Amino acid sequence: MDQAIDVRHHIGGGWVESASGRTYPKNNPWTGETFAEVAAGDADDALAAVAAADAAFGGWAASPPIDRQRILLRAADDLDRGRDEVRGLLAAETGCGVHFAGVQLDFCVNLLRQAAALAYAPSGQILPSDLAGTRALAMRRPVGVVAAIAPWNASLVLAGRAVVAPIATGNTVVLKPSEEAPFTGGAFWASLLTEAGLPAGVINVVTHAPGEAGAVAETLIADPRVRRISFTGSTVTGRRIAETAGRHLKRAVLQLGGHNPLLVLADAPLDQAVDAAVYGAFVHSGQTCMCARRIIVDSSLYDDFAVRFVARAAALPVGDPSDPATVIGPVINEWALSLLERRVREAVGLGARLLTGGVPVGRCFPPTVLADVPAASELAFDETFGPVVLLEAADGAEDALRRANGTDFGLTAGIITGDPYRGLDLARRLRAGIVHVNDQPVNDEPQMPFGGVKDSGAGRFGIGFAAEEFTEVQWVSARQDPRTYAF
C-alpha cells in the first residue's frame, strides 16, 4: 500500500465519519506503517447504525428470494475477480500470508454462493393438530437486527461468516469489526455487498479505536432493536458478551478460543503425522482458533516424532507475509508478541524444555516447540495465539484421550491413526465440537457445522446451521370455522 486508506463507518448505505470526528491509525503489522486511518466510533455511531438496520429490516425481510440470491451471487463473482487485491489488503492489514489468504478467499466465495441458495430454503413445516379444522404451521422468520462482533485473525472469513447467512435469511446486520481489522473484517464487506446491490441499511459497520470495543458492543447488545448477537473472538471477551446478552435476555452465538489437541496414536504413519502436525500448528502463524496447540504422541513414537517435527518447525520460513514462500509472518501487534515471549519464558522457568524458537525475530515470533510443559504454566491451560505448540507423550490411546479432554476448551481436535474406525470411536469420546480423523484440526467449509463446546462457545455456524441460529420459529395456526369453547 503506497498510501493509508480511509475507513469510515457504513451506516444506512453511506460512508460516514464518527459523530465525534475522531479517528485512529491502524498499522501494518509487518512494516509498522499506517495502513488505514479509521473512524473511531462510540455509542452514538452504534445507535445510528442500529436505527439504519432497523429501518431496513421490514423491506429486506419481505424481499423476493431471487433478489437476495442475485446480490449474493454477484458479490461472489466480484470477490473472485478481486483476489489479487484482497490478498494484498489482508497482508497489509493483518499480516496474513499468501496461502492463508487463498484459504480465506476460497471460503468466502463459496460462502456467498452457498448462501445464495439459502434464500430459497424451505421456511417452515405444516404440523398436524388435534383440533379439527385447525391448520398449524411452524414458520421460520428472520430475527431482525443482528449485532455481529468479529475478531481480526481470519478477518475476511470471520466477518463474512458473521454477516452473510444472517443477511441471506432476511435479517439486517450491524457489524463491529476488530480494531485490528476494520477494513478486511468490516468496511470491505459493506463495500462488496453494497456494490452487488444490497439495499441501504441491510449491512452497517461501526469501527472504533483500540480499547473502546466495550462501549460500542454494550450499546449494540443493550439496544432493544437488536435481537441476536453473533460473537467470534476470545473466551475472555465471549464471557463478557454472554453476561451482557444474558442481562438483556438475548441469545448469543459464541465462537470462542481453543486449546486444540492433535493425537498421534501408536499405529499412526509417522510421515503423515509430522506433515499434519506442522501444518496444524503453524498455518497462519498459529493465529487461527483451530490451530493444534498440543500434540499428544504415543510414547512408542514420541522420540522419533519429536526429532522430525522440531526439525521441520525450525526450518519454516519466517518474514514478509507478501512473500509466497513465507509460512510464519508477523504477529498482529506488540502486545501479542510480548505475550508469546512472556508465556514461553514462564513455562521454561517452571521446568518446560524449549526445543526450538522462543525469542522474537523482529515483528515475528518463530515456530516454537516446548516439551514437558508443567500444568501450572499459562501455555498449558490457556489459549496462546501464535506459533507455539506443546508436545506431550501418552501411554496408549486411552491416556491420549484423557489428556486431550483435560482442558476447559473444546473447539477442534485431530486424530492420526492407522485405523480410522478406531479414530471414529475416539472422536465420539472427545469433548470437542469438531474432530477430524486422519487430519489436523484446521479445517472449515461454509456448509459444515462449525463451533465448540465447553469454554469454546455455543451455537453453530455453517450455512444450514446458521440459518437456524438467525431465525425464530413462529407457530401460526388458522381456522376456517368458529371453534366451540368449554365456556
> Cα separation of 349 and 376, whole Å?
11
Q: Which is nearer to ligand NAD, 68 or 176 (CB)?
A: 176
Closer Cβ to ligand NAD, 150 or 435, answer by number = 150
- The x, y and z cell numbers of residue 459, run together, are 451455537
8-state DSSP, 432? -
CB-wise, 170 or 414, nearer to ligand NAD? 414
Alpha-carbon distance of 150 to 181, in angstroms, equals: 9
301 grid coordinates: 513414537
Instruction: Provide the minimum distance between the beta carbon of 341 and ligand NAD in the complex, in angstroms, as a whole number.
Output: 17
C-alpha cell at 202: 441491510
| Residue 257 Cβ vs ligand NAD, minimum distance, rounded to whole Å | 3
Contact (CB, 8 A) for 205 and 224: no
* Residue (92 or 252) nearer to ligand NAD, CB: 252
Residue 175 or 301 with smaller CB distance to ligand NAD = 175
The smaller minimum CB distance to ligand NAD, of residues 179 and 298, is found at 179
Q: State the nearest-atom distance from the C-beta of 297 to ligand NAD, in Å.
A: 23
Q: Which of 385, 395, 392, 350 shows the shortest CA–CA distance to 370?
A: 392
- Smallest distance, ligand NAD to C-beta of residue 240, A: 5
As measured in angstroms, the least distance from the Cβ of 92 to ligand NAD is 18
Are the C-beta atoms of residues 112 and 82 closer than 8 Å to each other?
no
Residue 340 DSSP SS3: helix
Question: Helical H runs in 383-457?
Answer: 397-405, 420-429
Query: Could you give the count of Cα atoms lying within 13 Å of 364 in the half-sphere of its Cβ?
Result: 26
Least distance in Å: CB of 422 to ligand NAD?
Answer: 27
Amino acid symbol at 359: V
User: In the complex with ligand NAD, which residue's Cβ is closer, 287 or 322?
Assistant: 287
Select 301 or 340, whichever has its Cβ closest to ligand NAD. Answer: 340
CA distance 449 to 325: 32
Closest contact distance (angstroms) between CB of 239 and ligand NAD is 10
Measured over all CA atoms, what is the biggest interatomic distance in the chain, rounded to whole angstroms? 83
Task: Give the whole-angstrom CA distance, residue 237 versus residue 35.
Answer: 26
Burial class (CB within 10 angstroms; exposed 0-12, middle 13-18, buried 19+) of 303: exposed
In contact, 97 and 105? CB cutoff 8 Å: no
Shorter beta-carbon distance to ligand NAD: residue 240 or 403: 240
Chain centroid to CA 271: how far?
30
Tell me whether residue 158 or residue 373 sits nearer to ligand NAD (CB atom). 158
Nearest-5° Cα angle at 147, 140 to 241: 110
- Tell me the H-state helices in 82-184: 83-94, 98-118, 155-168
Nearest distance, CB of residue 351 and ligand NAD, angstroms: 26
**What's the N-to-C CA distance of the chain in angstroms?**
76
Q: Which residues bind ligand NAD (CB under 6 A)?
A: 149-154, 158, 176, 178-179, 213-214, 217, 232-234, 237, 240-241, 255-258, 289, 383, 385, 411, 452, 457
Sheet holding 34-39, edge to edge: 5-7, 34-39, 23-27
Cβ at position 394, least distance to ligand NAD in Å: 24
- Minimal CB distance residue for ligand NAD: 233
Report d(CA 19, CA 350) in Å as an integer: 50
Cβ at position 68, least distance to ligand NAD in Å:
25
**Cell 476488530 sits at which residue?**
178
Q: How far is the CB of 75 from ligand NAD (least distance, A)?
A: 22
23 versus 69: smaller Cβ distance to ligand NAD: 23
Tell me the CA distances in angstroms from 242 to 40, 136, 364, one per residue in order: 24, 34, 33
Within 8 A by CB and 6+ apart from 460, the residues are 253, 433, 449, 450, 451, 466, 469
Residue 442 CB, shortest distance to ligand NAD, in Å, is: 11
Nearer to ligand NAD, 61 or 453 (CB): 453
